[in-house]
Amino acid sequence: MTQYSQAKLSLTHYAILLTVGTVLVRLATLGFYPLMDTTEARYGEMARIMSETGNWITPMFDYNVPFWGKPPLFSWLSAGGFELMGVNEFAARVPHLAVGIAILIITWLLAAKVRTKNEAWLAVAILSTTTAFIVISGAVMTDTALTFAVTMSMVSFWLAWEKASRLWGYLFFVGLAIGMLAKGPLTLVLVGISLVMWLAQEQRWRRIPSCLPWKGGVVVFLVISLPWYILAEWKTPGFINYFIVGEHIKRFVVSGWEGDLYGSAHDEIRGTIWVFWFLAALPWAPVLLYQIIRLFREGGEVVQSSEGYMGYLWCWMLSPMLLFTMAGNILPSYVMPGLPALGLLVAGYHSQRPLSDKVFKFGLITPGLLVVATILLANNLAGKESEKVLLSQWVKQVEKENSELIYIDKRPFSAQFYSVGKAKLNQAPLPTLLAEPAEDVFFVVEKGRLPPGFLWDKSRCELRAESNKRQLVHCNAG
């Protein structure tokens, strides 16, 4: 065995350990910190309501308010976790991590079939340790399922193209259908942008009619995805108009779009998605940029390869940024569907022109930071981003069974989740609410809002608990 093959084997073993270790670290952290406001707590509460009510068709923003903003796959995942393991943070998150692991497996399969197993392990080690992947794949969000769908479609298309496999051709359409249930038509757009850019080169588009089982594939796509859309519109009329027109057109072309029924639109500077990509792809974004610059200087091929594989990966990785460059209403997580291609590119360029093995120790950074962040969230920051700390004290109050729990002015989503749906919102003037309640009640109010001296008469109202932001006050009936 040559010195080079020994070094390569050592790097492969390191990549395997890094991938497995990162996944295990993420798994171990899932239950150690609360569902955070706003995204995780909001989606976790929708899943809790779904599990409680047995309504598996329409995710509910509140018990009587349908959520039209996203298809139900995110809610199905967490609600399924609740059914199996009870309502807790681990059960909410672990199905999403399982989907993240599936992304790693599919990514590994592509590299192993097209290149080598050594390159495949390096690719998934890089992917698993990107900032966005390690965080989002263990969070209650929609982006992991979307990334799985895009990855499945892109991997399946390539293998159907190269191997002339009808099975992979059908799996391409399965991936698109899963994407329709994960985040809707955005899946079709992201995959479409990637494929159009790649097929436009060298007249590859001429093979399109024969490389996929179009008739059977479209049937598979419709059978998987269409029934839910029909049921959703039937159960809550107006869903299609809001979701297709509002969420997929106005959200991205209307800056500060005010049609969002479930929150405020974001308004980022145009082009910010590229900054988001760089941050989400850390610590590997600088490595990829270095590889590109070095290849240019040495006269190597950056995009082209004998079968167009590297160019295919570039089209895949860039598609989210190209789509959202001119969009203002964006989030950092929007770049995640292109991250599997990033891992494949860095690993591919390493095979073409090896880097020092020391470079790949960068992968240790993100698991370490994850552990630190988990400790901080669990011990120091939970009261600022979640109502779990405060409501853990409410649960201990003997009066809670016969007293309403009312949040004044604002009710975070985590308040709904950790009170099991019992927290109510009341936006009446504070003096009116506090005057003489008709029955015993727990009020939750932001610190500094109570009138001076209000708590002096403990026979009337008494401070029972407080967090970094809010106070829990029990008042007797007037």
Give pLDDT tens digits for 142-159.
Answer: 999 999 999 999 999 999
Identify the sign of the CA torsion 375, 377, 381, 386.
negative
Domain boundaries, position 459 = 388-475
* Mean pLDDT, residues 454-475: 85
Q: What is the mean pLDDT of residues 355-377?
A: 86
Give the torsion sign (CA, 391, 42, 85, 235). positive
Shared domain for 283 and 312, answered yes or no, is yes
Q: How confident is the model at residue 2 (pLDDT cuts 50, 70, 90)?
A: very low
For residue range 272-303, what is the model confidence (pLDDT) as tens digits? Answer: 999 999 999 999 999 999 999 998 888 766 66
Residues 252 and 169 in one domain: yes
Say whether both 362 and 452 belong to one domain.
Answer: no
**Banded model confidence at residue 9, pLDDT cuts 50, 70, 90:** low
Tokens of 303: 């995009």
* Same domain? 299 vs 437: no
Q: Indicate if 256 and 287 belong to the same structural domain.
A: yes
**284-303 in b/e burial notation, b at 16+ Cβ within 10 A?**
bbebbeebbeebeeeeeebe
Q: Indicate if 422 and 352 belong to the same structural domain.
A: no
Asked if residue 75 and residue 210 are part of one domain, the reply reads yes
Q: Which of 345, 378, 411 is the last residue of a domain?
A: 378
Q: Are 47 and 145 in contact (CB under 8 A)?
A: no
**Residue 263: inside a domain:** yes
Examine the pLDDT at 222 and tell me if it is beyond 50: yes
Average pLDDT over every residue of 464-477: 90
Task: Tell me the pLDDT of the chain averaged across its residues.
Answer: 89
User: How much of the chain, in percent, has pLDDT values that exceed 70?
Assistant: 92
Predicted local distance difference test score (pLDDT) of residue 433:
81
Average pLDDT over residues 451-455: 78
Rounded distance, CA 29 to CA 39, Å?
18
Q: Are 205 and 199 in contact (CB under 8 A)?
A: yes
Let me know whether 186 and 291 are in one domain.
yes
441 located within any domain:
yes
Domain count, the chain: 2
pLDDT(92) > 70? yes
Is there a single domain that holds both residue 123 and residue 30? Answer: yes
Residue 383 lies in a domain: no
Say if residue 127 is in the same domain as residue 95.
Answer: yes
Q: Is the pLDDT of residue 349 over 70?
A: yes
Between 6 and 439, the more confident residue is 439
pLDDT tens for 228-264 read 999 999 999 999 988 888 777 776 666 555 556 666 5
Half-sphere exposure of 43 (CA within 13 A, CB side): 24
Domain match, 317 and 363 both: yes
- Pick from 360, 378, 396: which residue ends a domain? 378
Q: What is the pTM of this model?
A: 0.92
* Domain end marker among 378, 410, 435: 378
Burial class (CB within 10 angstroms; exposed 0-12, middle 13-18, buried 19+) of 269: exposed
**Co-location of 80 and 199 in the same domain:** yes
